[in-house]
Structure 1
């Protein structure tokens, strides 16, 4: 069910939601959190709502969408309430704010927050430079950004490293989960030799490739080179150097990876690029600090970034966000 409330107030929205629950028998007691989505009022708003609806099947939530419209227009709030089949396992409130209200998103959100429930803020596209200092971000226990959706993903990743506080995370980090699990499992098998260095290759504007390199640098305390490759989308390969032979994971097509280890047959592994809904659902499982993500951001400054897959001689480490 979808109910439109043009030129309304948050008080009227709350009242209508109570009426809909009483008439339809729906309850809000099963909601485990409030997810606030902040975006511009565009076609991408619906994509974000769809991803939240699918993620809500694992994390039932009240989803509040702050869709910022034209700033030069007269101040106005248009609301839309979605429940039932149009809202997955959640209840969705879309707030389209115009004029001065577009800069006061937090004021529209506060009256609609679930009592005594965690608040998660998500910016699917452009995010503030300091999410924790944003009016909506200041309300949230967890703040989710997506560097890959920014105009300059690598520069955005550098901003994440500079602005990090406990509770921050990024979907570019969630996209690494399968890679991290595969590489960790490979190192848990003999021979148990020290890793002398690593090389990670991927698209030039892939923040997940940078984060994978930063994770290896911070976790293993080894020199890591980050190379640019056009052989496939996103992360293309990761090579860990060992005395008896390298551990290599190559994913040329964005779907199937190939794991090569000394003394073992080559393996095909599922490494399909993760959908936004899956990354969002993973991030909603954790509401506290992510220490591994924090150390990975610090590790970015230790990574040697290159323009191509040529020799690494003469390369120098670059700070996070500095483009080569």
Structure 2
């Protein structure tokens, strides 16, 4: 079921939700959290599609907040809130509310969103595009227990990362870090097999890649060795090289979904190491809503040869 509301209020949206739920026979008790997506019209479709896919694993209420400021302040003298509600089959495994905030009401998005949050459940906020440098101090960010940003969407990722180091608050995380989960798993398994001490490390990636910087910091934290940042043609991270007394441990992924793992004294083997879609990244973040201590630790790591 799809319900369109023009020039509405949060109270009217809640009433429409109740009526729609009764009409399709969908209870609200099965939803485990509220996901708030703050985006623009250009990115709204892809973000909502990713959230819909993630909701198959985590039934949730999705609130999409689109702020529409007029080019001229006098263009819309009156504030207006429009909403599109999707329930049942139109909303995958939960409920979806797309909120378009026009005029001055866009400056008070937290007041619009607060009455629409599911009671007694966690709130996760996701900025698919531009995000505040201090997410926890943002009025909408203050409503959430988990705040997800994406350094890949920043105009200057490494400078933005530098600002996030200073402003980090428990509950903050970034999809650039989430993208590293397969790399970290492969490297941890390789080190277990090699059973030797690492004396040097290097991460190869395209220039200014934020995930490469986070991976280098993770290696420094876990292995206590300085990690070189080397520029390659990409795309994204292309190789990690770990030096040992017996030889190099190398994971190479020059392109495509497959990587090659080389261990000293062993034949090379092929591994699946594909670039995951955004829906998988969001689903992973929604599996654990407590503070990511390792992410906080590597943000504080300043021992490497990176720009910080």
Provide TM-score, normalisation by structure 1.
0.91
Matches within 5 A, 1:142-291: 142-190=146-194, 192-230=195-233, 232-291=234-293
Which residue in 2 is equivalent to 1:9?
Answer: 9
Which residue in 1 is equivalent to 2:26?
Answer: 26
Per the alignment, in what secondary structure is the counterpart of residue 80 of structure 1?
strand
Q: Distance in 2 between matches of 1:28 and 1:21?
A: 8
Q: Distance in 1 between matches of 2:289 and 2:108?
A: 25
Q: Distance in 1 between matches of 2:89 and 2:230?
A: 45
Q: C-alpha root-mean-square deviation of aligned residues, in Å?
A: 1.1
Residues 204-249 of structure 1: per-residue CA shift (max 9 Å, x gap): 132111111010011111111111111x311111001101001000
Provide TM-score, normalisation by structure 2.
0.96
Is the 8 Å Cα contact of residues 199 and 227 (structure 1) preserved in structure 2?
yes
Is the 8 Å Cα contact of residues 240 and 247 (structure 1) preserved in structure 2?
yes
Q: Distance in 1 between matches of 2:296 and 2:65?
A: 28
Matches within 5 A, 1:67-78: 67-71=66-70, 72=73, 73=76, 74-78=78-82
Q: Distance in 2 between matches of 1:32 and 1:63?
A: 11
Which residue in 2 is equivalent to 1:141?
Answer: 145
Which contiguous aligned blocks of 4+ residues in structure 1 show a shift greater than 6 angstroms? none
Q: Distance in 2 between matches of 1:86 and 1:148?
A: 30
Residues 73-99 of structure 1: per-residue CA shift (max 9 Å, x gap): 331100010122321212001110011
Which residue in 2 is equivalent to 1:48?
Answer: 47
The question of 1:304 aligning with 2:290 is answered no
Per the alignment, in what secondary structure is the counterpart of residue 17 of structure 2?
helix
Is the 8 Å Cα contact of residues 24 and 88 (structure 2) preserved in structure 1?
no
Q: Which runs of 5+ in 1 are unaligned?
A: 306-317, 320-324
Residues 247-286 of structure 1: per-residue CA shift (max 9 Å, x gap): 0001011421110111111011111111111011001111
Q: Which runs of 5+ in 2 are unaligned?
A: none
